Amino acid sequence: MAPQGESALHRPLLETPDEDEITSAKQFFSQYAAESKKLWYLAGPAIFTAVAQYSLGAITQVFAGHLTTLELDAVSTENMVIAGLAFGIMIGMGSALETLCGQAYGANQLSMLGVYMQRSWVILNTTCLILLPIYIFAYHILRFFGEEEEISRMAARFALYMIPQLFAYGCNFPLQKFLQSQSKVMTMAWISGVAMLFHIFLSWLFIVQFQWGLPGAAASLNISWWIVVLGQFIYILLGYCPGAWTGFTWGAFRGLGAFARLSIASAIMLCLEFWYYMLLVVLAGRLKNAEVAVAAISICINLSGWEIMIFLGFNAAISVRISNELGAGRPRAAKFSILVVVVSAASIGIAFMALVLILRNVYPIPFTNSKEVQEVVSNLAVLFALALLLNSVQPVLSGVAVGAGWQWLVAYINLGCYYIVGLPLGFFLGSKLNLGVKGIWSGMITGVGLQTLVLTGITLATNWKKEAAQAESRIRKWGGVGMSKNDEENGTENNHKPFLA
């Protein structure tokens, strides 16, 4: 064991999750295999859940192809712009629970998980009310950004139909983080899979058979999202989360200010990442051959989006592992988890990188018939492959940040790396130096690469023993202490009496 006063940087690099130093290669590989099994147990179902829920909107767009071109454009616009904005904010604010629930679970403060989830419900559904004007005034917003009038009018109508989905977001993400912190990821995967299959059936029934048009598309999507929400909540009510759910409590309305600040930090952190890629398309639209540039950038972002779904699973897994281990006061186990997940994610990223380079003249073909666009995308292969490699590690480091509660710090880092360095550099290289799509993509990679380097440096320099102490302090701050002996025996916290069990 390292001396107590020694800094994190000077402790042995490889230490096992049970706080012992690794003394042999055999011991290292044994511990690596054990930790890898834990990570894949979390990451595998989390990846499927992310893909299944991401696919709900995509499936609606596919079935909307049975309608007119105008209605298809309206569904796509609402899904990408209006719902996309709400989705980013909701999943960002919900990720605050990855820190709080994960650390409380690791500290064995199970009763606080239900309280935290209910606080998140209050904050996220209040945010839904604040976001309502975006849905109500969608026409004016879309017209402001230059969208064609008929598409704006139809998309605005569809946005009104999709208001129930907004509140489903507000209920769903706290439920997800609550279950995820307890490693109930397989349940989430099953519920999301059933909802996706049911959504396919409903979309066929309402759009193809009944020919209900946009109202049918909206009904099937709303119902499917609420199936996800109700399925998860029913699972909790049936008693499969003993100790973590003890009923509704007035404690959900305590400490909302500090809780809201962490939720807002989480939302800003993630939204700055989501919007970064959206703005690349805007920059491409300002190039000389804008139509080809936008198509090429969109193909790369589309492919990158599916890859990111995989690494969001790793993001969720490492967030759970870090928060659990810090909450349990095992900082060296947290460090070991980071090592394992970074190696695993980077290995997959290298595989994707190799595939793109090998298939550089093939992978654009399914997306476009334009030879010019195919050529631009193929010429982008080296830069695109490098982006895929960076995008394999970057979400993992963001997951470490969420697990440790560094949301505000990462928000500032994202603002600097993406919007002060990446986008201006991309605009300068693409427009001023006439490097076109390559210039924009080079700027993007520079921003992501810089952010990855900064997060790597912070992670390596972190005193994880101190982070574990801060996790304990955070749990105390939000009500994880103060139990009477009787409350401890009954698994309930004396400041959070239930008003409805």
> In 462-498, which residue ranges form alpha helices assigned H by DSSP?
464-477, 485-490
DSSP reduced 3-state for 288: coil
The CB density around residue 30, as the number of other CB atoms within 10 Å, is 13
Q: Say if residue 491's pLDDT is above 70.
A: no
- Residues 25-57: pLDDT tens digits? 888 888 888 888 888 888 889 889 988 887 888
CA distance 289 to 110: 57
Q: Say if residue 485's pLDDT is above 50.
A: no
- Residues 292-344: pLDDT tens digits? 776 777 677 767 777 777 877 887 788 788 878 877 778 888 888 888 888 88
pLDDT confidence of residue 21: 62
The CB density around residue 204, as the number of other CB atoms within 10 Å, is 15
- Residues 171-228: pLDDT tens digits? 999 999 899 888 899 999 999 999 999 999 999 999 989 999 999 999 999 999 999 9
> In 328-405, which residue ranges form alpha helices assigned H by DSSP?
331-358, 371-379, 381-404
- Categorize the per-residue pLDDT at 17 as very low, low, confident or very high, splitting at 50, 70 and 90: very low
- Residues 383-400: pLDDT tens digits? 888 888 888 888 788 777
CA distance 161 to 458: 45
Q: Which of 32, 15, 46, 21 is nearest to 396 (CA)?
A: 46
- Categorize the per-residue pLDDT at 71 as very low, low, confident or very high, splitting at 50, 70 and 90: confident
Kindly state the percentage of the chain with pLDDT values over 90. Answer: 24
DSSP reduced 3-state for 498: strand
Q: CB of 165 within 8 A of CB of 225?
A: yes
DSSP reduced 3-state for 19: coil
Phi, psi at 497, each rounded to 5° = -65, 135
Token pair for 366: 């399914």
The CB density around residue 275, as the number of other CB atoms within 10 Å, is 17
Phi, psi at 449, each rounded to 5° = -65, -40
Q: CB of 166 within 8 A of CB of 132?
A: yes
Kindly state the percentage of the chain with pLDDT values over 70. Answer: 86
DSSP reduced 3-state for 21: strand
pLDDT confidence of residue 500: 41
pLDDT confidence of residue 276: 77
CA distance 52 to 200: 11
- Residues 91-130: pLDDT tens digits? 888 877 877 887 788 788 888 899 899 999 999 999 999 9
Please state, in angstroms and as integers, the Cα–Cα distance from residue 208 to each residue in 57, 64, 160, 217, 264, following that order: 17, 9, 22, 10, 41
Return the higher-pLDDT residue of 94 and 136: 136
Q: CB of 155 within 8 A of CB of 164?
A: no
DSSP reduced 3-state for 500: strand
Phi, psi at 326, each rounded to 5° = -65, -40
pTM of the predicted model as reported, rounded to 2 decimal places: 0.74
Mean pLDDT over each residue of the chain, to the nearest integer: 81
**15 forms bridges with which residues in the sheet?**
21
Q: Say if residue 152's pLDDT is above 50.
A: yes
Report, as an integer, the average pLDDT of 434-461: 87
Token pair for 104: 């409380």
